[in-house]
Amino acid sequence: MTRHDGWMDDPSTALERGALAGCLVADFSRVLAGPLATMILGDLGATVVKVEHPHGDDTRQWGPPFKGTESTYFLSVNRNKRSAVLDLATPEGASDARRLAERATVLVENFRPGRLARFGLGYDQLAATNPGLVYCSISGFGGAGTPGADLAGYDFVVQAMAGLMDITGPEGGPPTKVGVAVVDVLTGLHAAVGILAALGARHTSGRGQLVEVSLMSAALASLVNQASAYLNTGTAPRAMGNRHPSIAPYETLATMDGVLAVAVGNDGQFRLLCKAIGDDAIADDERFVTNPARVAHRDELVRQLETRLGARPAAEWVALLRAVGVPCGPVNDVAAAFADAQRLGLEPVVEQPGDGDGAGDAAGAVRSVASPLRLSCAPVSYRRPPPTLGRDTDEVVAWLRTPAPAAPLDPA
Pairwise CA distance, residues 177 & 193, whole Å = 25
| Contact call for residues 377 and 15 (beta carbons, < 8 A) | yes
Q: What is the DSSP letter of 146?
A: S
Provide the pLDDT for residue 4.
36
How do beta strands 70-71 and 81-85 pair? unpaired
* Cα–Cα separations (whole angstroms), residue 10 to 7, 18, 41, 175: 10, 12, 19, 54
Omega cis (within 30) before 147: no
Bridge partners of 81, per DSSP, are 48
Provide the pLDDT for residue 357.
58
Task: Return phi, psi of residue 73, to 5°.
Answer: -65, -50
pTM of the entire predicted model: 0.92
Pairwise CA distance, residues 90 & 394, whole Å = 17
Provide the pLDDT for residue 363.
47
Cα–Cα nearest to 225, from 295, 178, 167, 302: 167
How do beta strands 259-263 and 250-254 pair? antiparallel
Provide the pLDDT for residue 221.
98
Provide the pLDDT for residue 355.
75
Bridge partners of 109, per DSSP, are 28, 137
Q: In the chain, count of helices (H) and strands (E)?
A: 16, 13
Pairwise CA distance, residues 71 & 77, whole Å = 11
Provide the pLDDT for residue 280.
94
Q: What are the tens digits of pLDDT across the range 264-286?
A: 999 999 999 999 999 999 999 99
Pairwise CA distance, residues 219 & 124, whole Å = 28
How do beta strands 259-263 and 328-330 pair? antiparallel
| Contact call for residues 178 and 164 (beta carbons, < 8 A) | yes
Looking at domain 259-330, which of 3.40.50.12280, 3.40.50.1970, 3.40.50.2300, 3.30.1540.10 is its CATH number? 3.30.1540.10
Provide the pLDDT for residue 328.
98
Pairwise CA distance, residues 94 & 86, whole Å = 7
Provide the pLDDT for residue 356.
64
Pairwise CA distance, residues 360 & 354, whole Å = 6
Provide the pLDDT for residue 9.
46
Q: Residue 279: enclosing H or E segment and its boundaries?
A: none
How many Cβ atoms from other residues are within 10 Å of residue 297's Cβ? 16
Which residue in the list 5, 27, 184, 355 is annotated as catalytic?
A: 184
Q: What is the DSSP letter of 336?
A: H
Provide the pLDDT for residue 359.
61
The per-residue DSSP string of 392-412 comes to: THHHHHHHHTSPSSPPPPP--
How do beta strands 210-214 and 134-139 pair? parallel
Where do the domains of the chain lie? 11-223+347-400, 259-330
In sequence order, what are the residues at sequence separation of 6 or more whose Cβ sits closer than 8 angstroms to the Cβ of residue 165? 159, 175, 176, 177
Pairwise CA distance, residues 241 & 163, whole Å = 15
Burial (CB count within 10 angstroms: exposed 0-12, middle 13-18, buried 19+), residue 107: buried
Pairwise CA distance, residues 85 & 395, whole Å = 11
Task: Please say if 184 is a catalytic residue.
Answer: yes
The pLDDT tens digits along the chain (412 residues) read 334 343 334 554 567 789 999 999 999 999 999 999 999 999 999 999 999 999 999 999 999 999 999 999 999 999 999 999 999 999 999 999 999 999 999 999 999 999 999 999 999 999 999 999 999 999 999 988 899 988 989 999 999 999 999 999 999 999 999 999 999 999 999 999 999 999 999 999 999 999 999 999 999 999 999 999 999 999 999 999 999 999 999 999 999 999 999 999 999 999 999 999 999 999 999 999 999 999 999 999 999 999 999 999 999 999 999 999 999 999 999 999 999 999 999 999 999 998 765 565 444 799 999 999 999 999 999 999 999 999 999 999 999 999 876 678 877 7
Bridge partners of 250, per DSSP, are 263
How many Cβ atoms from other residues are within 10 Å of residue 5's Cβ? 18
* CATH topology for the 11-223+347-400 domain: Rossmann fold (3.40.50)
